[in-house]
Structure 1
Amino acid sequence: MKLDLNNIKIAQENIASVARKTPLFYSTTFSRESGYNVYLKCENKQKTGAFKIRGAYNKIVNLSEEEKARGVIASSAGNHAQGVAYAATALGIKSTIVMPQTAPQAKVQATKAYGAKVIQYGEVYDECYAKALEVQKEIGATFIHPFNDEDVIAGQGTIGVEILEELEDVDAIVVPIGGGGLISGIALAAKSIKPEIKIIGVQPSIIASSKASLEEGKIVTLPGVKSLADGISVKTPGDITFEYIRKYVDDIVTVSEDEIAYGIFCLMERSKLVSEGAGAVAISAVLNNKVNVKGKNIVCLVSGGNIDIAVLSKIIDRQLIILKRRIRFVVEIQDKVGELGQLVNSVVSMGANVVKVRQDTNWNDKGLDYANVLFEIEVQTREHAQNVIDSLGKKGYNLEIVG
């Protein structure tokens, strides 16, 4: 390991004209729910929508003129792709990016818009990484690794410096971890400034390769699985990053796919922040009591906000149903004029929003004089939903919850 705080301070100077100093703010809501004083470091507000531009730019600006002339190539699930494309174009360098076929189209299109040639291959990062090495041999470009590179690590470490500059009495930083570049840089920077600070990594439980490696004391490769946190779905941590992780990271915890989705939902609803899956794992871990540290001041890193809008829509719909804030039920009514209108008015009068209503005639077991009506409604809380159901029952309606 050759990096120290001075390397990160130099990286900070290198990227000063390009990368934003992103917001760090206190969350009253998350603090109340978790019992900690929770601060959010919002790298989803960074240029290209994620922290990756820091490491990518620092790496590319440090290339020799001969390396720059050959152009650069990278493999990425999306955010490193955009960081490399942006940095290369800004410095007048050609870039080629290999991305998984499963990468969100928002990330693919953004990478192309920043000036890169995009090749899509494989299901997870490790597969497109192997493809990128093949392409590199063909075109002779300089490879920009997304995490296993000390210039990249130093660039990501500038986040740790920013946090400590703004919040000196922070007790712990909770960081998403995939291949380990981000947490290596932040941990090195933070512990160099404040040795007693705790650094906690968070990974998806279905592909927790860095956690397994830390526990085994050696690099472990897991089967490739695509998590909702696609940006940190990495089968094998880097050999360079693993040394920093072993020295500076205190613990790595995991979160489930449902917990990640809940984190995305909470960041949007309560903090008005759009986060991708990887960006939500830190707050997911805190909200689900996965983090246990002494002290009160915790910074959760929201590492990126590049999420496909269609995926975001699915998450919102699903969470509303899980939280019982969107419910479906079937009501039996008499099939006569005005009956359906009266039922709809009853539902609306209780403060529910009717999303969908469909009357099925001729299918009630009692015969042609009765009909079944399917309702889908949105309510404020689980208790509100139960009040609606109870009130309809008191009014004599026969109903059944479905879905």
Structure 2
Amino acid sequence: MTINLNELKARIAAADVYALAKRTPCQLAPKLSQEYGRNIWLKREDLQDVFSFKIRGAANRISSLTDAERAAGVCAASAGNHAQGMAAAAAYYNTKAVIFMPVTTPMIKVNAVAAAGAETRLVGDSYDDACAAAIEFAKESGAVFIHPFDELDVIAGQGTVGKEILEQMPRTPAAIYVCTGGGGLVSGVGTWVKAVSPSTKIIAVEPIGATTLKTSLEAGKPIPLNHVDGFADGVAVRLVGTNTLEIAKSVVDECVTVTNDEICAAVKDVFEATRTVVEPAGALALAGLIKQVREGTAPDGDCVVTISGANVNFDRIGHIVERAELGAGEEMMFAATIPEQAGAFLNFVRALGQRAVTEFNYRFAENDDDAHVLVGVKIRQSAERGDIIASMAEQNISVVDLSDDRLAKRHLRHMVGGRASKDIDEVLYRFEFPERPGALTDFLVNLDARWNISLFHYRNHGHSTGNVLCGFQIPKGDLAQLEESLAKTGYPMTCESDNIAYAYFLKA
């Protein structure tokens, strides 16, 4: 498929969005600009009435419906922001909207869609399940299905963000960093910007666990991801759009991927700059810019980042705060081995010096010559990790840096207790399951009852995916039979039996 970008630019120029969407400000962030050595501008789409840029695409698409189509109504699938945009636009244009949402969608988003006048239907555990149901409903009812990112009128509506940026900036920006999921925003922004200011780089930013655009660009065609990390749920898309990919091939200069911790750090940066708590996807573009600045690959000059949305659940904020300092390189987590004897603990604390301790975990183990402690300390920059390890080595204290260890950050720091029996083999697995009522029960029910669970840890983080750490005893060494049983749960799993943090604190 070939898309005429000049025609798409004309659609953007004619997009009918301002009956519902605001011309959001493009604000200079002085503190961030000073810290990172270039002017950083925030395009504040979190200030829309539905707290997201998605109102633009929904408004433009529904405004173009014929009278007959409006009478038939519209439908869509979404886990949040597109749903709210659709509901608001449908109400304004007096057409019925039925929105299909995964069962895992937080009720705050479901209620917001219902409050805007749309009918909500909860179907399946993922966007793909909800989308299939919405398409089937459209076939049966005659309602117009509106895709969240892969329709040209939706893309054109999102492209008004790029048009506004160039109109608002005092100088030609060197780069615009765009949060990217299905590609509607980056393809729309890129189409306008490359036509008007071809020297401005368009940089797509994706979570490292949801690189649908990067993967498809490298392959030259849409490639579905086998697994999608749902942390930044606003961009947790399994498959990029056919239209958006074709456009991105022409208008996207580069793709940047960032970790969840880097996203959390960017959420903190946005809060300190604006006093607004944005959703993870909303801070994604800033995380990409900061990463490139630190790596020395960011362009000089004015850089704009899209702050795409602020539909964050209150119960996620604690988790974001917890991971922000690790993501910003302002905290180090490590395991230290000290002699299990009087005075060793004092010696360890002295080796820490005047550093602020963020957490300290230790449990006495009888009959062990050594003790293992899990410690978090505040640091000013990542390079300071080496200084800590060196100061510990001077006191003959062995240290393993766990700052990038997922098991340690997500599970171990919240766990207490002893170790398993040395007489029975144990294996450890990490599972992901949809965060919906009954999912944890289903997980346990589907396990074969012959396996003894020797360790179990789960925390609700307020997003669509739950994470479980589970240990199993295999007295007869029948690992193959255990994994066959675990596969029946249907949930993605990763073996963690060789993880260094497990060996230090939990393994027999």
Report if the CA contact (8 A) 2:289-2:298 is conserved: no
Q: Name the SS of the counterpart of 1:169 in structure 2.
A: coil
Query: CA-atom RMSD, angstroms?
Result: 3.7
Report if the CA contact (8 A) 1:72-1:94 is conserved: yes
> Counterpart amino acid of 1:6?
A
Aligned pairs for 1:150-229 (under 5 A) are 150-167=152-169, 168-229=171-232
Report if the CA contact (8 A) 2:264-2:320 is conserved: yes
Report if the CA contact (8 A) 2:8-2:152 is conserved: no
Report if the CA contact (8 A) 2:39-2:303 is conserved: yes
Choose the corresponding residue for 1:239, options 237, 242, 245: 242
Report if the CA contact (8 A) 2:172-2:197 is conserved: no
Q: Name the SS of the counterpart of 1:199 in structure 2.
A: strand
Q: CA deviation at 1:325?
A: 10
> Counterpart amino acid of 2:79?
A
Q: How far, CA to CA, are the matches of 2:270 and 2:221 in structure 1?
A: 35
Higher share in helix: 1
Q: How far, CA to CA, are the matches of 1:144 and 1:7 in structure 2?
A: 17
Q: How far, CA to CA, are the matches of 1:257 and 1:114 in structure 2?
A: 31
Aligned pairs for 1:5-154 (under 5 A) are 5-11=9-15, 14-154=16-156
> Counterpart amino acid of 1:69?
A
Q: Name the SS of the counterpart of 2:50 in structure 1.
A: helix
Choose the corresponding residue for 2:277, options 269, 274, 290: 274
* Alignment match, 2:300: 295
- Give the TM-score of the pair, scaled to structure 1: 0.79
* Alignment match, 1:312: 317
Q: How far, CA to CA, are the matches of 1:37 and 1:315 in structure 2?
A: 26
Q: CA deviation at 1:381?
A: 7.4
List runs of 5+ in structure 1 lacking aligned partners: 327-349, 357-362, 366-375, 383-401
Choose the corresponding residue for 2:267, options 251, 264, 269: 264
**C-alpha distance 321-249 of structure 1, shift in aligned 2 (>3 A):** closer
> Counterpart amino acid of 1:266?
D
> Counterpart amino acid of 1:230?
D
List runs of 5+ in structure 2 lacking aligned partners: 334-353, 367-374, 382-411, 414-508
Report if the CA contact (8 A) 1:175-1:201 is conserved: yes
Alpha-carbon deviations, 1:203-256, whole Å to 9, x = none? Answer: 111121110111111111112424211111111111111111011111111111
Q: Could you tell me the percent identity over the aligned residues? A: 39
> Counterpart amino acid of 2:167?
E
**C-alpha distance 254-123 of structure 1, shift in aligned 2 (>3 A):** farther
Q: CA deviation at 1:104?
A: 3.1
**C-alpha distance 319-239 of structure 1, shift in aligned 2 (>3 A):** closer
Q: CA deviation at 1:379?
A: 8.8
State the aligned residue count.
365
Q: Name the SS of the counterpart of 2:198 in structure 1.
A: coil
- Give the TM-score of the pair, scaled to structure 2: 0.63
Report if the CA contact (8 A) 1:8-1:155 is conserved: yes
